């Protein structure tokens, strides 16, 4: 069956511009997560939501990050005023509930120039 899909796979953005990254999660999964992964530093969770159409603003590392969930299986991670330090792979994952295994997408590699 279809897994978690992310688009685009690669994104180049000019510093200061806003970007939006899309995630299509697995149908029926309740919990959805966004992670940021940098080379040699591991991954950190940016935001997660556990309900339909929730706008979550966990905002790590700052309020520039937010996620919207217009449909149960679709989420958009928005990064405002991108900085060069935002260059990373952004991973989306979903799970049936918060204690089940998480299924990850292939990620979007964002490069801020």
Partner 1 sequence: DAKTTQPNSMESNEEEPVHLPCNHSTISGTDYIHWYRQLPSQGPEYVIHGLTSNVNNRMASLAIAEDRKSSTLILHRATLRDAAVYYCTTGANSKLTFGKGITLSVRP
Q: What is d(CA 6, CA 78) in angstroms, rounded to the nearest whole number? A: 14
92 vs 112, beta carbon nearer partner 1: 92
CA atoms within 13 A on the CB side of 77: 33
* Binding flag, residue 54, partner 1 (CB under 8 A): no
* Binding flag, residue 66, partner 1 (CB under 8 A): no
* Binding flag, residue 29, partner 1 (CB under 8 A): no
Contact yes or no for 23/92 (Cβ under 8 A)? yes
Residue 79: CB minimum distance to partner 1, A: 19
Residue 101: CB minimum distance to partner 1, A: 4
Residue 92: CB minimum distance to partner 1, A: 8
Q: What is d(CA 87, CA 69) in angstroms, rounded to the nearest whole number? A: 23
**How many other C-beta atoms are found inside a 10 Å radius of the C-beta of residue 112?**
19
Length of the chain: 113
Interface residues toward partner 1, by CB under 8 A = 4, 31, 33, 35, 37, 40-45, 48, 50, 91, 93, 95, 98-107
């Amino acid at each position: 069956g279809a897994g978690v899909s992310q688009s685009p796979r690669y994104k180049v953005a000019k510093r200061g511009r806003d970007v939006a990254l899309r995630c299509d999660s697995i149908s029926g999964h309740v919990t959805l997560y966004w992670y940021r992964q940098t080379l040699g530093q591991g991954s950190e969770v940016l935001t997660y939501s556990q309900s339909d159409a929730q706008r979550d603003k966990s905002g790590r590392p700052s309020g520039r990050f937010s996620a919207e969930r217009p449909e149960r299986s679709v989420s958009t991670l928005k990064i405002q005023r991108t900085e060069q330090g935002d260059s990373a792979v952004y991973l989306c994952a979903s799970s049936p509930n918060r204690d089940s295994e998480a299924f990850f997408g292939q990620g979007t590699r964002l490069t801020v120039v």
